[in-house]
């Protein structure tokens, strides 16, 4: 191809490279904007024209984690002077606490929602990938009657719209007291991710040559030993990739969390948008919450980059 390349082709190539750069900038602009807003003081978050150059601050993050509440005994200027710096940030630079003479700093709702998200996403990922790995091995190595139908059944449970499943689940959970509990949400996310994990892991299992275990069986291993000592280490990359995908799905999930949780077990996705609800939203604080929430996913996307195609197509396309 290089030998027959004409000058117009080279010219087109240059145009294409410029176009790719422009497209990348347009695609990343929204993400950049939310990240930069997270470091703006409140009065610069919603200016016209938009503020692009500014002195970054961490005050939105402090406000994200703390909230002020009324206190009966007024705080004296001395008490303000003795207060730690993060409390002063929450009180708008300290002016108000002195003038109003009251207030107290507490944790906001954000850290507990973030923690809930971590608990639910990690636990359900471990369960879904654990069960999925065994099941995928079963489908990959043994003859299963009606295998295609069973696999279709497993996949179809993933394709159900969340609201459709949520209606009966809500009623059942209400009957057994699982609404607004971590366990309830973990079960739902495990069920949701299990089908994905079976499909993806089956692809990885199919790629491990059968001869490895057969050699081990000849050497006197039992099937179980061969599975744990030969197959699992070979499948490690696949298991890790599947786990990251399951984690991201559970981490991002919104509809189930909105319906099934309200406070105690509420995760970050339904919580973050609910902050916009009342009055004039403080966009820099919302952006800070969004930024922290999206950061793990962005990091995982880079770690996963070679497996994205496979994961996003349910293991249908391998490369």
Q: Using CB under 8 A, which residues numbered 210 to 229 contact other proteins?
A: 214, 217-218, 220-225, 227
Residue 177 in the binding site for other proteins (CB under 8 A): no
Separation in Å, CA 113 to CA 150, 284, 290: 37, 18, 12
Give the binding range for other proteins (CB under 8 A) out of 90-98, 105-113, 232-240, 284-292: 284-292
Applying CB under 8 A, what is the total number of residues that bind other proteins?
105
* Nearer of residues 76 and 313 to other proteins, judged by Cβ: 313
Give the integer Cα–Cα distance in Å for 172 and 178: 8
Q: Where are the alpha helices (DSSP H) in the chain?
A: 7-37, 42-45, 59-65, 77-82, 85-90, 95-100, 110-141, 147-159, 162-176, 182-207, 210-218, 223-226, 232-234, 236-252, 255-260, 268-274, 283-304, 308-312
Q: How far is the CB of 131 from other proteins (least distance, A)?
A: 5
**Binders in 53-112 for other proteins, by CB under 8 A:** none
x-or-dash pattern for other proteins, window 131-170, by CB under 8 A?
A: xx-xx-xxx-xx-x---x-x-xxxxxx-xxxxxxxxxxxx
Q: How far is the CB of 129 from other proteins (least distance, A)?
A: 12
From 98, 126, 191, 232, residue interacting with other proteins (rule: CB under 8 A): 191
| Gap between the Cα atoms of 282 and 45, Å rounded | 8
Question: Could you say whether residue 196 binds other proteins (CB under 8 A)?
Answer: no
CB of 95 to other proteins, least distance (A): 25
Contacts by 160-164 with C-beta closer than 8 Å and gap 24+? 162/192, 162/253, 162/255, 162/256, 163/255, 163/259
115 sits near other proteins (criterion: CB under 8 A): no
Q: Which is nearer to other proteins, 91 or 290 (CB)?
A: 290
Q: Angle at which helices 283-304 and 110-141 pack, to 10 degrees?
A: 20
Q: How far is the CB of 9 from other proteins (least distance, A)?
A: 10
Return the number of the residue (60 or 103) whose C-beta is nearest other proteins: 60
């Amino acid at each position: 191809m290089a030998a027959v390349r004409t000058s117009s082709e080279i010219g087109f190539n240059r145009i294409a490279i410029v176009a790719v750069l422009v497209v990348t900038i347009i695609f990343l602009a929204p993400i950049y904007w939310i990240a930069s807003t997270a470091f703006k003081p409140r009065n610069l978050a919603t200016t016209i024209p938009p503020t692009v150059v500014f002195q970054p601050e961490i005050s939105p993050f402090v406000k994200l984690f703390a909230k002020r509440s009324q206190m009966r005994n007024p705080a004296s200027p001395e008490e303000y002077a003795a207060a730690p710096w993060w409390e002063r940030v929450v009180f708008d630079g300290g002016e108000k606490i002195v003038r109003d003479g009251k207030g107290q700093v507490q944790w906001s709702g954000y850290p507990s929602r973030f923690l809930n998200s971590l608990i639910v996403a990690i636990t359900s990922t471990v369960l879904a990938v654990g069960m999925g790995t065994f099941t995928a091995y079963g489908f990959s190595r043994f003859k299963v009657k009606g295998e295609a139908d069973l696999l279709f059944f497993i996949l179809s449970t993933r394709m159900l719209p969340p609201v459709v499943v949520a209606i009966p689940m809500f009623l059942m959970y209400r009957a057994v007291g699982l609404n607004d509990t971590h366990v309830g949400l973990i079960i739902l996310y495990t069920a949701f991710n299990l089908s994905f994990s079976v499909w993806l892991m089956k692809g990885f299992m199919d790629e491990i040559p059968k001869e490895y275990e057969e050699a081990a069986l000849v050497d006197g291993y039992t099937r179980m030993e061969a599975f744990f000592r030969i197959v699992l280490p070979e499948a490690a990359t696949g298991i890790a990739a599947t786990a990251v995908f399951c984690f991201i799905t559970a981490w991002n999930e919104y509809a189930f969390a909105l319906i099934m949780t309200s406070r105690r077990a509420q995760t970050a996705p339904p919580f973050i948008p609910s902050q916009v609800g009342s009055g004039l939203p403080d966009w820099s604080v919302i952006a800070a919450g969004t930024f922290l929430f999206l950061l793990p996913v962005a990091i995982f996307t880079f770690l996963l980059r070679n497996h994205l195609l496979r994961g996003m197509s349910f293991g249908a396309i391998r490369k």
